[in-house]
Amino acid sequence: MRIDKFLHAMRIGTRTQVRRLIKDGQITTNGEPVISGKQQINPGSDVVCLDDVQVRYQEYFYYVMNKPLGVITATTDSSAKTVMDLFNKTDFRDDLFPVGRLDKDTEGILVITNDGALSHALMSPAHHVTKLYEAEVTGEITAEQLATFNAGITLKDGTLLKPAEAELVAFHEIENFTTIRIAIHEGKYHQVKRMVGTLGERVVELKRIKFGSLALPIGLLAGNYRALTDDELQALKADAEQPVAE
């Protein structure tokens, strides 16, 4: 791997800035000054330093975001703000992408990475991870109504859904709405909203609070993100290896 490409990938600077660092003698490899950006290195074994501080190689990056309302789950869009627009310049990489999606009017937990293999495993029908939502729904929803979701229901358009776990959180009598939680094991279009629609009601607020074993971190405000911890990442990888329960 060319050292200038390595330094750029590790967010040391733009290609122009990296060339300047090399020219100024600030970059060394295994203790020797680098004189050309074309110099080949092995990121796994060679020690690259900037001003005597080692630049450690990292191939994959993993973040958890609390997606806010009004932002679309995409890498780029010509007219709308995307989740990638919420990243600061230090953390942003053009190879990052969201795992799955949340609707523009849905908030909550979202995983963002550049690890394509993990993303594919998490979203594959063979390993589709459980996603837990909290919803505010018009009217009064009863526990008996929610129990119908547990056996799997058929949507109005004939789509047959897998069993989902739904529970009643609270009925707010004065405002006349119900808070419920629904855990689903697939990713049909507008699934939670369409499920609630079979009860003759509609979702007015929807938030994803858990993705696989990864819960929305306490204190992570809407629009903010942070790197996954090692434990969180290992648990997420374990989720990706679990077959879907029949």
State the CB neighbour count (10 A cutoff) for residue 228: 19
Nearest to 85 by CA among 59, 65, 107, 108: 65
Q: Is 208 exposed, middle or buried (0-12, 13-18, 19+ CB in 10 A)?
A: buried
Nearest to residue 87, comparing CAs of 79, 98, 102, 78?
A: 98
User: DSSP letter string over 92-110?
Assistant: --TT-EESS---TT-EEEE
DSSP secondary structure string for all residues of 4-59: HHHHHHTTS--HHHHHHHHHTT-EEETTEE---TT-B--TTT--EEETTEE-----
Among residues 46, 85, 91, 103, which one is catalytic? 103
* β-sheet with 32-33: strand ranges across: 32-33, 27-29, 48-50, 53-54
CB contact at 8 A, 183 and 165: yes
- Is 103 considered catalytic here? yes
* Residue 162 DSSP code: P
The candidate with the shortest Cα–Cα distance to 99, out of 80, 86, 118, is: 118
**Catalytic (active-site) positions:** 103
